[in-house]
Chain A
Amino acid sequence: MTELTPAKSVAGKVVAAVANNVYESAIEAKKNGEKIAWISSNFPQEIPTAFGLHCVYPESQAAAISAKGAGQTMCEHAENELGLSNDICAYARISQAYADLGKCPNGEREMPLPDLVLCCNNICDCMFKWYENLARTLNIPIVMIDVPFNNKFDVDDKRIKYIRGQFDQAIKQLEGILGQKFDEKKFEEVCKISSQVGEEWLKATKYLNYKPAPYKGFDLFNHMAVATMARGQKESLEAFKEFNAECEQFIKEHKSTFKGDEKHRIMFEGIACWPYLGVTYKTLKNMGVNVTSCVYGPSFAFTYKNLDEMAAAYASMPNATNLERATQLREELCQEGKVDGGLVHINRSCKMWSSFMPEMARRISRDLDIPVVMFDGDQSDPRNFSEEQYVTRVQGLVEIMDSNAKKGE
């Protein structure tokens, strides 16, 4: 194996700055009396961006809040003060708590309160219940785009027609709310940038396919904030280009932000456990395991030229597609990432994602003949994660990968 030199990513900081800027400029805009939308991560943001509407993303905010240690406090506020069950998605709990409080306990990740909410259920139905609640408690309008779950492999015409029709409806609604006409030209521009950002993002994720990889897969968990929040912005394009150039440099120079020997490469499936990002990463790193496959690449890389193609792209979101397609997507990523095993997060928060995960894990393991282990956790509520169980499961996975590697020698 090639000796790797540990490296620090400079471009990563540029990407992080873009994410930060989304919040900062929204805070500024609010101060200037401009309207703010809270928007779900896979809402076709090209539409509000074309209106020049400032959008902030409650999912990303909740992730940041929990990564900085305030997940539990916010969840408890939602449960004790707002009466929400602790069974519902922790992002939804944190976000509703934030809507109620208007601030974080220690300024973990502030963002302005919304004047409207934009919701798309292509990743889960939890989303529209959550946004219904936001709209009700804050007494603001909601724009909803419904993407019905697809039991078939391919997206059919009736879905595209339906989603396309809802785009028109959403545009009309926004024209009414914002008192402004939809600018087709601007929209085309935004679509162009979004597609380019999508391509650069996808390219960034593909550098993990190099063996050894030029960066640690966990870096993607941070960088995806930009792919989520700033898909339609030129700054994101520049930042990802810089990141990609750095990756190529690292590959040429045998450098990586993954410290240590990349003994094993795995798929990490599911959302990161934000409150335990350090522990979950270090456990893997200490055993020489890098994550080189995760679904976040294709999840935020949309390419299209018009509203019809955009409808088809948004209808194909990983969480809106059937078991076979969801599995195939992971298997392709596993093959590209040249993984020896899989680690699956059974996320207590995410009913949609976890609901057929055991079967998907079995299929991936069987089809690719690799060990796949599951652990119980939560993306944001620290009460639902056991470090002990996590470490044991990872150890178990590594043992099998070690023994497989020996057999293969």
Chain B
Amino acid sequence: MADIKELLEGFTEVADHPKAELDRHIAAGKKVIGVGPYYVLEELVYAAGAIPFGVWGRVGTASKAREYFPPFYCSICQMTLEMGLNHELDKLSGIMLTALCDTLRGASQNFRVGVTQVPMIFVTQPQNRATEAGRQYAIDSYTELKTTVGEACDTIIDDDKLAEAIKLYNNWRAAMRTFLAEAAKHPALVSVAQRAAVVDAGYYMDKAEHLKKVEALNELLAAQPASTDGFKKVVLSGVYYDIPALTQILDENHFAVVADDIAKESRALQLQVSEEGDPTVALAEAFCKAGNDSILFDENKGHVAHVADLYKESGADGVVLLLAKFCDPEEFDAPHVAKACKDAGAPFVQIEIDQSTESYEQARTQLETFADIIG
């Protein structure tokens, strides 16, 4: 059986080379559907016998995308479009994009007309999710998507297959939550970069295969004594942090992520889909139940209190808010998150991040200072 180190290297290999993973799926005769952020119902893709493949931009700078987007847009959307325009996504049989923020709205249009070789599958979701009207809208939308995704994969998605996919995804999300908890207890064994790699690999690999490996890793980690000695325990908040230059700084300064409020991580992994009844309805209801996220309308702004709660519950030494540049939802919440953390007595630092940032020197200084404060 592989050891912890080998398993982590395997995940890192996939996370660092998504294109190779994509080629493997294609070589195995699979259809692959891209999935952008947020809360995209990958289960449909899986049930159609295809592989869902995460596309959240990539590190780099936009050039062709600038023909479509003015410069003041988040890098996830700019770089996803850039990848499309650069033909990096041509092997996909489609890409599912949501429109939960203004930039995503525009991105869906730019992608649809700019990258015609990859059909854009538009995912519409309700924001008024606590109401019956919202629930029904989600069901109607997801029912349509079942047909659209089926078409893109040349198949009819049947409910048995969808129910199976839901089961797999529930198990996978549970295993991932366990992994994040184990990684939090074992920072000496799982670095911040490796934590991100395990998550990212999950966006690229076949979920069944990823699940097996994550379960194996969890078992090995659980057998090791927990220790955060010598580490500065932080809660990470934000959309993403899988930027090598950034994780390197976090690791060099011995940060341990003991809890996260990261959209690509725990926010996405919160979904638990009912395994009873109509699977499409179950998927819709699971989305309507999601919360604590800047991108989801919430009259009580649960997201704000959630970050402070994570601090209190996890025994962290501080909170690091990684603010995605040009991200409206996060920027509107940021001062409130900062205040809630301050009220909870949490040392707090806010760092601007972007996939197109060339130098992280300022972030380095900020994080070094923060490490001193909480260390």
Contact = CB atoms under 8 A, between A and B. Distances in A.
B19 to A, nearest CB: 27
A109 B194 CA distance: 54
Given A87-B326, A169-B131, A142 B68 contact: no
Interface stretch (A24-32, A42-50, A131-139, A299-307): A131-139
A55 B297 CA distance: 22
B110 A133 contact: no
B231 interface: no
A121 B124 CA distance: 14
Interface stretch (B96-104, B205-213, B255-263, B269-277): B96-104
Contacts of B140: 158, 161-162
Contacts of B112: 151, 323
B122 interface: yes
Interface residues of A, number: 51
A211 interface: no
Nearest to B69: A355
B331 interface: yes
A125 interface: yes
B60 interface: no
Given A133-B332, A146-B297, A351-B73, A356 B101 contact: no
B338 interface: yes
Contacts of A144: 127-128, 297, 299
A117 to B, nearest CB: 10
A346 B234 CA distance: 39
Given A125-B102, A151-B109, A346-B70, A84 B126 contact: no
B161 interface: no
Interface of B is mostly: helix
Given A146-B134, A357-B70, A359-B114, A82 B328 contact: no
B177 to A, nearest CB: 27
A166 interface: yes
Contacts of A322: 109
Given A151-B124, A166-B131, A351-B106, A132 B70 contact: no
Contacts of A6: none
A150 B137 CA distance: 13
Given A83-B335, A165-B132, A148 B127 contact: yes
Interface residues of B, number: 54
A164 B120 CA distance: 28
A161 B329 CA distance: 27
B197 to A, nearest CB: 30
A123 to B, nearest CB: 10
A129 interface: yes
Given A83-B335, A359-B110, A165 B101 contact: no
Contacts of B72: 87, 348, 351, 354
Contact of A165 (B99, B107, B136, B331): B136
Most chain A CB neighbours (cut-off 10 Å) among B108, B136, B332: B332
Contact of B297 (A132, A159, A164, A358): A132
Contacts of A88: 328, 331-332
Most chain B CB neighbours (cut-off 10 Å) among A87, A169, A323: A87
Most chain A CB neighbours (cut-off 10 Å) among B69, B102, B128: B102
A287 B144 CA distance: 52
B336 A355 contact: no
Most chain B CB neighbours (cut-off 10 Å) among A135, A151, A359: A151
A243 interface: no
A151 B148 CA distance: 14
B331 A149 contact: no
B32 to A, nearest CB: 22
B131 A165 contact: yes
A84 B323 CA distance: 12
Interface in B15-74: 67-70, 72-73
Interface of B: 67-70, 72-73, 99-103, 105-110, 112-114, 120, 122, 124-128, 131-134, 136-137, 140-141, 144, 294, 297-299, 301, 304, 323, 325-326, 328-329, 331-336, 338
Given A151-B99, A355-B109, 4 more contacts: A125-B127, A126-B102, A322-B109, A352-B105
26 contacts: A82-B335, A85-B331, A87-B325, A87-B328, A87-B331, A88-B332, A125-B329, A129-B328, A144-B299, A146-B128, A146-B134, A148-B124, A149-B99, A150-B124, A151-B99, A158-B141, A158-B144, A161-B133, A166-B133, A169-B131, A346-B70, A351-B106, A355-B70, A355-B106, A356-B110, A359-B113
Interface of A: 82-85, 87-89, 92, 121, 124-126, 128-130, 132-133, 135-136, 141-142, 144-146, 148-152, 158-159, 161-162, 164-166, 168-169, 322-323, 346, 348, 351-352, 354-359, 376
